[in-house]
Amino acid sequence: MSEVKTIFELSKEYLSALEIAIEEKNSAFIRDTMEGVNSADISALLDELNADMAKYVIDILDNEVGAEIIEDLEEDTRTKFLENFTPKEVADYITEMDSDDAVDIINELPAKTREEVISEIIDPDTAAHIHELMRYDEDCAGGLMAKEMIIANLNWNIVQTIEEIRRQRENVDRIYSVYVVDDKYKLLGKVSVKDILLANDNTHISEIYDDDVISVETYMDEEEVADIMRKYDLDVVPVVNLQGKLVGRITIDDIVDVITDQAEEDRQLMSGISSDVEEDDTIWVILKARLPWLIIGLVGGIVGAYVIRGFEDQIQTITGLALFIPLIMATGGNVGVQSSTLVVQSLATKSVFTDSLGKRLLKMVAIAMFTGLVLGSISFFVVYLYGEIKLGLVVAIALQAVVLLASFTGTATPLILDKLGINPALASGPFITTANDMLGITVYLLIANLLL
C-alpha cells in the first residue's frame, strides 16, 4: 500500500524548531514531524538550511525518501548539496531512483566524482541501465527515457505475464501498460493491466494485445517527443532504437519538465535575458544575462536620437512633430511584439496544415494595412480637431507605414530565425522593440520632411 502524503506548510516557527532539533541531535522530532510529508515540501525546507544541517536531516530519513528529496532539489542547490556526501552515499541514493533521474543527477557531478559514484553502485541492473543511458544526449528521447518498465513476450500466457509484473513491481512505480515484444525484443504493441486481469490463465498475450501503439526513437529531440505526447494525450510513450527494439519509456512527468523548461527559456528570451538565470543567482550571473540586450537597446536609442538630430531643423520649424514621436515608437513596438508573439506561438505548435511562408506574409500585409488604416484614421481625426490638417496627414501616413514595417519585421524575423535553427522567441521583446523604434522614427521624420 502506498504511503499517504500530507500537505506540509513551511513556517518560520517550524523552521526554528527544526534548527533547534538538529543542533540538539533530536532525530525523533525530525522523523515524527516529517513522516508522510511530500518530498517536494521537504526539499523546499532544506533550501532554508545550510549544507551540514540539510545533510543531517536526509541522513536520518530512509534512503528512498532521501532520494526523492534530492530529485526535487533545484539543480544548482543539488550540485552544491551533494558535495557534502561521499561517492558511496550518493550511489546509495542513486540506486533508489528511476534510471533517467539517476543519470540526470550523475551528469551534474564533476567528472571524477561521477566515475567514483558509478563505481560504488552495487546493483548490476542499475549500473547497466546508467551506463546505457549516459550514451545519449540529455535533450533527446534516449536521454529522457527510463529503463524500468514491464515487458511481456508475445508467446507468454497470462500466468507468466503476472509473474513478470510481480517481479518488476519494486522497480516500476506506475504501470500504465505492459509492452509486448517478440523474441528479438522488437516492440509489437501493448496490453492493459485490466485486460490481463480479466483474461483466463491459459490465454496468450498474442490473443489480447493491441498493436496500435505510438512510439518514439532514441534520437528524437525532446521537444518533438513533447509535441507527440501532447498531441495524442499520452501519459507514457515507449522508446525504440533504429531497429525497432524496445529500449525504454518516457513518462509524462519528464515531459512536463521539458515543457516547463522550454517555456521558461522562451519567456526569458522574450524579456531580453540571454541565458537561464534564477533570482537567487549571483549578481554577476544575472548581469551577464541581462546586460547584452539592454546595451543593444541603449545603442538603438542613441541611433534614434541621432536620427532625430538629423531632422532638428524641421522639428524646430514644426514643433508639433516632436509631440507624436512617442506615439510612433510605441505603436511600432507594440505591433511588432504582437506579430512576433503570434508567429512564435504557431511555431511552437507546428502542423502539416500550416500556411506557407508566402501566404503568411500576404495575410500579415492584409492585417497590417487594415490596422494601419484604423490607427491612422483615428490619429488624423484627433490632430485635425486641433486644426493641424497637414500634421495629421503626416502622422496618419507614418502610422500606416510603421504598422506595415513593424508587422513585417515581427512576422519575418521569427520565421527566419526558425529556419536558421535559432530559438524564434529571441525575435520578441527587446530585439523587435529596438528595431521598430529606429525604423519608426526614421520613417516618420522622412514622411514629415517630404510632406511638410
* pLDDT, tens only, 287-309: 776 677 677 777 777 877 777 77
Lowest mean pLDDT among 126-140, 252-266, 324-338, 423-437: 423-437
Grid coordinates in use for 106? Answer: 550523475
* Residue that wins the pLDDT comparison between 307 and 398: 398
- CATH (one of 1.25.60.10, 3.40.1080.20, 1.20.1740.10, 1.10.260.40) for 12-139: 1.25.60.10
- Confidence (pLDDT) at 250: 93
Nearest of 73, 26, 29, 31 to residue 48 by alpha carbon? 73
Confidence of residue 275 (pLDDT cuts 50, 70, 90): low
pLDDT of the residue at 6:
46
pLDDT per position as a tens digit, 30-85 = 888 888 888 888 888 888 888 888 889 998 988 888 898 898 888 778 888 888 89
Is residue 152 scored above 90 in pLDDT? Answer: yes
Least confident segment among 57-61, 80-84, 275-279, 403-407? 275-279
- How many angstroms separate the Cα of 76 from the Cα of each of 39, 94, 109, 275, 412? 18, 18, 11, 15, 37
Q: Which three cell numbers stand for residue 149?
A: 518498465
* Cβ count within 10 A of residue 143: 20
At residue 405, what is the residue type? L
- The residue extents of the domains of the chain are 12-139, 151-260, 283-451
* pLDDT of 193 strictly over 70: yes
The pLDDT of residue 274 is above 60: no
Q: What is the structure's pLDDT at 278?
A: 62
pLDDT (tens digit per residue) in 154-176: 999 999 999 988 887 777 777 87
CA distances 398 to 9, 387, 389, Å, are 57, 19, 14
CATH number for the region 283-451 comes to: 1.10.357.20
pLDDT top residue among 187 and 307: 187
Radius of gyration in angstroms for the set of CA atoms belonging to the chain, rounded to a whole number: 30
Mean pLDDT of the chain: 83
CATH architecture of the domain covering 151-260 = Roll (3.10)
